């Protein structure tokens, strides 16, 4: 079985899609900061979710966040073979299977020597031909298929009970290489729709950066953009190529 770990703040726009996509996950441990929307209520309504009410007193602090994650993934877990360490806007699937129907079979084929699997993420945007998002449409990820790919795999899928340590930002696991032969595909929904992208990136990210994050250079991609910059970025990508 699979367990996911994810931090949530003001994610009501994404949570229905997140919960629908991760139908193959048995348990979701959700670290929930006090939010302005129905984040907590939406998560609490799913019986798979274990709520952890947490607080970042000075805003987004990636050192605090990674400490929560590392404490969680180091706990002995006899029930789950694999862990997913996710952000709320990250959607993963085995290659060629955006519906996630073959996740268990895919992971069963991974040799024991592969402890960390990466995901090749596509930064998706709303294409000029796309319709408004619908959380009842499945697979949800096929509603946003255009954007720009990243060739650098992000370590997201890990074997349980390995005492692994993520660095702030969760883009690297200390002392362990990402599998060279097995990986997931994925879509990063940070910019998936103007309906939430601008508010999420400005009010919920840029304007919440803690002094610690700024001093240490964490989350630097959020520091300088404005709402106008985000709108312009979304407009530039309205005719991107289809990626999956």
Burial status of residue 234 (CB atoms within 10 A of its CB: 0-12, 13-18, 19 or more): middle
| 8 A C-beta contact, residue 179 and residue 110 | yes
Average pLDDT over residues 113-131: 98
**Per-residue pLDDT reduced to its tens digit, 4-29:** 999 999 999 999 999 999 999 999 99
What average pLDDT does the segment 130-140 reach? 96
Instruction: Report yes or no: 181 and 114 within 8 Å, Cβ to Cβ.
Output: yes
- Can you give the pTM of this predicted structure? 0.96
> In the predicted model, what is the mean pLDDT of residues 222-226?
90
> Residue 223's pLDDT is what?
87
**What is the DSSP-derived secondary structure letter of residue 163?**
-
Which two three-digit tokens encode residue 111? 């040799």
The predicted structure's pLDDT at residue 110: 98
């Amino acid at each position: 079985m699979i367990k996911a770990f994810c931090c949530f703040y003001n994610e009501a726009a994404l949570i229905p899609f997140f919960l629908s996509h991760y139908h193959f996950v048995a348990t979701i441990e959700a670290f929930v900061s006090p939010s302005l929307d129905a984040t907590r209520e939406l998560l609490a309504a799913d019986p798979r979710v274990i709520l952890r009410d947490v607080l970042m007193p000075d805003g987004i602090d990636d050192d605090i966040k990674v400490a929560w994650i590392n404490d969680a993934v180091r706990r002995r877990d006899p029930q789950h073979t694999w862990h997913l360490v996710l952000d709320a806007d990250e959607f993963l699937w085995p290659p060629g299977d955006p519906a996630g129907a073959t996740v268990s079979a895919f992971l069963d084929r991974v040799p024991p020597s592969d402890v960390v699997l990466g995901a090749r993420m596509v930064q998706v945007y709303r294409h000029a031909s796309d319709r408004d998002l619908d959380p009842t449409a499945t697979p949800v990820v096929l509603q946003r298929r255009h954007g720009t790919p990243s060739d650098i795999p992000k370590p997201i899928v890990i074997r349980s009970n390995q005492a692994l340590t993520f660095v702030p930002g969760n883009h690297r696991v200390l002392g362990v290489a990402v599998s060279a032969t097995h990986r997931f595909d994925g879509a990063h929904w940070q910019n998936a729709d103007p309906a939430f992208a601008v508010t999420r990136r400005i009010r919920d990210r840029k304007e919440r950066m803690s002094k610690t994050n700024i001093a240490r250079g964490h989350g630097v991609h959020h520091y300088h953009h404005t709402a106008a910059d985000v709108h312009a970025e979304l407009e530039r990508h309205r005719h991107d190529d289809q990626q999956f």
